[in-house]
Amino acid sequence: MSTKNWPLWEVFVRSKNGLEHRHCGSLHAADEEMALENARDVYTRRSEGVSIWVVESKHITASNPENNGEMFEPAQDKVYRHPTFYDLPDEVKHM
């Protein structure tokens, strides 16, 4: 096993047409082509997907968990921002 690691990539798989790509994990690869092939082998070998996106992890800007208070808590006591006061018809599934 080499001690020098390839860059890390994040893998997004669309499980079937019409659904969105979802993050399913990460892997190492030397470039985007290898990342796609590795993703195919690591994440879709039990026919989990019909489309794969890969993006090098360094290109993702993430929020800092330390700032969770100011980022997310103010939303918690404003229930009127949630559409919970309406009756949703069953046909509307993914709300």
Partner 1 sequence: MNQNLYNYILGIADNSLILGQRLGELTGHGPSLETDIACTNISLDLFGQVRSYYQYAAKIAGDKRTEDDIAMLRKEREYVNVLLVEQPNTNFAYTIARQFLFDVYHFLFLTQLEKSKDLTLSAIATKSLKEVSYHQRFSTDWLKRLGDGTSESKAKMQEAINDLWTYTDELFHQTEADKAMVAEGIGVDVTTLKKAYYEKVEAVLSEATLETPESKWFQKGGKQGIHTEHLGYLLTDLQYMQRTYPNMEW
DSSP alpha helices (H): ranges in the chain? 32-43, 68-72
* Number of residues near partner 1 (by CB under 8 A): 14
* Residue 21 binds partner 1, judged by CB under 8 A: no
Least distance CB 27 / partner 1 (angstroms): 5
Residue 2 or 76: the one with the smaller Cβ distance to partner 1 is 2
Among residue numbers 22 through 61, which ones bind partner 1 (CB under 8 A)? 27-30, 33-34, 37-38, 41-42, 45
CB 8 within 8 A of CB 24: no
Q: Residues with Cβ < 8 Å from 49, sequence gap 6 or more?
A: 13, 14, 15, 43
What dihedral do alpha carbons 40, 48, 55, 57 form, nearest 10°?
A: -100
What is the smallest separation between the CB atom of 39 and partner 1, expressed in angstroms? 9
Residue type, 13: V
> Measured from the CB of residue 19, what is the shortest distance to partner 1 in angstroms?
24
Site residues, partner 1 (CB under 8 A): 1-2, 6, 27-30, 33-34, 37-38, 41-42, 45
